[in-house]
Structure 1
């Protein structure tokens, strides 16, 4: 029997001692074992005992000198405690049965074999004994170790039953394949395609949680391709699959915007781990199918796809149960502005155009530039070189204007309160007109955002509108 060396941490012998006192067969199981074999860091430990999991947790807490609090989840028959910065969850071995309308199983006490049978994949059905008779022995009844070595995601039992019972496992298969850079076993992947419609019984929140984990992987495009070819993506995110395909008229073809989007996503992933910047990459061209037009003069166009895409973002976030907060607004802003830096590559670009970009992008200008650089996906190395040189010029110009004018997230020094007090007026259309005019004058470079210049401009604008300063009328 093969043995596995557990990490040198006090928690394992203490759990073993507690199990010995309770005479309960006990094993470390699941993802912790998988990650230990893969030499991936993990401090989340799942412990299965043939018996009462919460009772074992209480006994472990008694044996730990600091007597940690045990949190018991009665509905699930589990308990959790923390030792140092390790989180340990305890559960009794279970067997499960499912009904067709729900992924929530009916659970009853079972043997270790029953518990391993209910695991999603062979690589997660590995255990390590904490029992005195065979401490450290590897429990591997489904050849999970072999599948780890072959980099293969495979279900322990019939994949049709596994995925029909809990359809979220189809998303998890793709997620593990993407995170670990594994292949999905052919029979397992075929079963995903056959059972894809079952995903409709899963809540959007759970689906999107798995999708976000795929997006945060090193090469997220791999997961999206698996989702796409299995048919799952069409069911969970149809707006993205609508990007797929190339249309040709009069020998003029546009690029496949689905694969372009995946390349942009991977490019961003090389530069940033920010989930929301990656979502901006996914959605930057989302409105292209709706704005696609062809004319003999210019060929294919997607005019206004950035504005329309930005307007689509709130509904897409709502549909996917993503947060409708500052993260959504960040993605919306980047989708709207993602073409703006490209327009600045011309030699004739004015400082005012750069000021406007800085004003609108604010503190997100750096993320916007990452997205725009990632948007260069041409296979022509000469074009890539030219585009990157142009963006370097744009970045330098942005830096110059930013250092001179300090326009990132700027607010005019003249506020609405100052305008109302100066002219003795109440909140009104005139106040808004003067404020907007002030902003325009600063962005155009006619005045600096300094009190004396801005106040003089305000007086002039107000008098043009027939307003007189209160002091002058007294």
Structure 2
């Protein structure tokens, strides 16, 4: 039986074999670029995530390089070689470009970033890192976040550089920092969130000393800009194993600073355990929503799943009969979602869509398990709008009961709703429900100018359309005139 050392050696050899094959694949482009730097008197190395991914056998066409050349020298070397060039990150020492190369018999486009050796640090009040350039690759690597990202391959000779044991940590699937985690997180507190993100993306464990530092320094995350925090959170949520990263954020206290609504879901259980663990339920709903995705990771759906119950802590009530209620938690949750996502600088569309899904996630249960009327189906589709497909997925994911009979009944009931929607969509234009008369027709029939009356008439006809379905033109005109007569008489009209 192989001992532990033999297992580690075997893991290392497998990792190294994968790296060789991956690096050979991108050599035509990488080596060509490296020779140009060499001819200009500079060094070039593949670095960081690119080396890590090569060792994991998953190197894509996004390549990261580091060099002793200063940014203006990098521009001189790269400009005549690249197909396209951008200087967005040049203030931080990074030049980006696109390059198409003939690789493995096909033309492939590579997205390349070349960064001058550097070091970054934060002062106690700054939200932006201070950048200073270094002169050696060793100096550059020690400032990187984790040992698995602190490896390099010098090109074109392909000399492997690993001063901090990143290869062994990669084989052991563990995240450590090149220096002390306290120094690393002091330089850039966002690295604490990156630890959670990499744990979720790579399914790695985080070393105990790193976790301890995250707990001790969690409040330092507050000096990082909301945009950088949001971007890391997105990468974590869109990863293959978000539960692992989210759990780490909650356990270390980081979530309390960046997404406090999540740890707040850890409600104390009532003595009779009459409501489920909302926090664990939420993580399960997220995973079940992921399983329903059809075209890759869906950030809108995943955020809605993560936030759908955040209104529960504020609405929890212990009833006289011992039950626990959360009345209107979807309405409160939608407001909290809007507030949190706005604070994290999400786009207006993302804020609106996720908040709407949170608000609607209980709508299905409001109809019970009975037969859906045409009117109820129309209103459900109208209210969901373009979010209908996501609402289907979120509602189905929200069932986490272990009672198979109850779960099966809920699934059948939702199957029934989707069947009713499909039936009505064949008969009516459910995706764009409008009144049977438009604004111009309303003004002509009632002989009124544009104004509030037209809006009220439109709303009346929309309600008729939702309740009764499409009407013939003459019948719609008749209903409009009856409504108008009632308005003029000052009496209410029944729809």
TM-score by length of 1: 0.90
Further displaced range: 160-169 or 275-284: 275-284
Match of 2:486 in 1: 464
| Distance change in 2, residues 1:366/1:26 (3 Å) | closer
The answer to whether structure 1 residue 278 and structure 2 residue 302 are counterparts is yes
Q: Secondary structure at the match of 1:10?
A: helix
The answer to whether structure 1 residue 196 and structure 2 residue 218 are counterparts is yes
- The CA deviation at 1:309 is 2.0
Which of 20, 41, 52 is the matching residue for 2:38? 20
Q: Secondary structure at the match of 2:115?
A: strand
| Distance change in 2, residues 1:369/1:117 (3 Å) | same
- The CA deviation at 1:301 is 0.9
Match of 1:471 in 2: none
Which of 138, 147, 150 is the matching residue for 1:113? 138
Match of 2:20 in 1: 4
Which of 148, 152, 170 is the matching residue for 1:123? 148
> Within 5 A, what are the aligned runs for 1:138-287?
138-248=160-270, 251-272=272-293, 273-287=297-311
The answer to whether structure 1 residue 314 and structure 2 residue 338 are counterparts is yes
1:305-332 residue CA offsets vs partner (Å, 9 max, x unmatched): 11222233332222221112x2222222
| Distance change in 2, residues 1:37/1:214 (3 Å) | same
Q: Secondary structure at the match of 1:238?
A: coil
1:212-234 residue CA offsets vs partner (Å, 9 max, x unmatched): 11111122222111100010001
The answer to whether structure 1 residue 301 and structure 2 residue 325 are counterparts is yes
| Distance change in 2, residues 1:371/1:97 (3 Å) | closer
> Within 5 A, what are the aligned runs for 1:22-101?
22-52=40-70, 54-62=72-80, 64=81, 69=85, 71=87, 74-84=90-100, 85-96=109-120, 99-101=123-125
- Equivalents in 1 of 2:94, 2:268: separation in Å? 51
1:67-96 residue CA offsets vs partner (Å, 9 max, x unmatched): 754748553333232211212222332345
1:229-252 residue CA offsets vs partner (Å, 9 max, x unmatched): 010001111122211123315x25
Tell me if structure 2 keeps the 8 A contact 1:32–1:43. no
Which of 383, 391, 407 is the matching residue for 2:430? 407
Unaligned runs of 5+ in 2: 1-12, 101-108, 490-495
Match of 1:452 in 2: 474
- Equivalents in 2 of 1:98, 1:434: separation in Å? 60
Which of 129, 134, 137 is the matching residue for 2:159? 137
Tell me if structure 1 keeps the 8 A contact 2:71–2:90. no
Match of 2:405 in 1: 382
Tell me if structure 2 keeps the 8 A contact 1:57–1:81. no
- Equivalents in 2 of 1:212, 1:275: separation in Å? 7
Further displaced range: 193-202 or 401-410: 401-410
| Distance change in 2, residues 1:343/1:402 (3 Å) | farther
Further displaced range: 333-342 or 39-48: 39-48
- Equivalents in 2 of 1:78, 1:440: separation in Å? 57
Tell me if structure 2 keeps the 8 A contact 1:341–1:369. no
- The CA deviation at 1:377 is 0.8
Match of 1:364 in 2: 387
Further displaced range: 222-231 or 106-115: 106-115
| Distance change in 2, residues 1:78/1:327 (3 Å) | closer
| Distance change in 2, residues 1:80/1:354 (3 Å) | closer
| Distance change in 2, residues 1:293/1:164 (3 Å) | same
The answer to whether structure 1 residue 439 and structure 2 residue 457 are counterparts is no
- Equivalents in 2 of 1:126, 1:47: separation in Å? 11
Q: Secondary structure at the match of 2:64?
A: strand
| Distance change in 2, residues 1:41/1:410 (3 Å) | farther
- Equivalents in 1 of 2:334, 2:85: separation in Å? 47
Q: Secondary structure at the match of 1:453?
A: helix
Please report the RMSD computed on the Cα atoms of aligned residues, expressed in angstroms: 2.4
- Equivalents in 1 of 2:151, 2:130: separation in Å? 21
Tell me if structure 1 keeps the 8 A contact 2:361–2:391. yes
- Equivalents in 2 of 1:390, 1:19: separation in Å? 65
Tell me if structure 2 keeps the 8 A contact 1:412–1:449. no
Tell me if structure 1 keeps the 8 A contact 2:192–2:214. yes
- Equivalents in 1 of 2:471, 2:49: separation in Å? 57
- Equivalents in 1 of 2:389, 2:113: separation in Å? 41
| Distance change in 2, residues 1:404/1:228 (3 Å) | same
TM-score by length of 2: 0.86
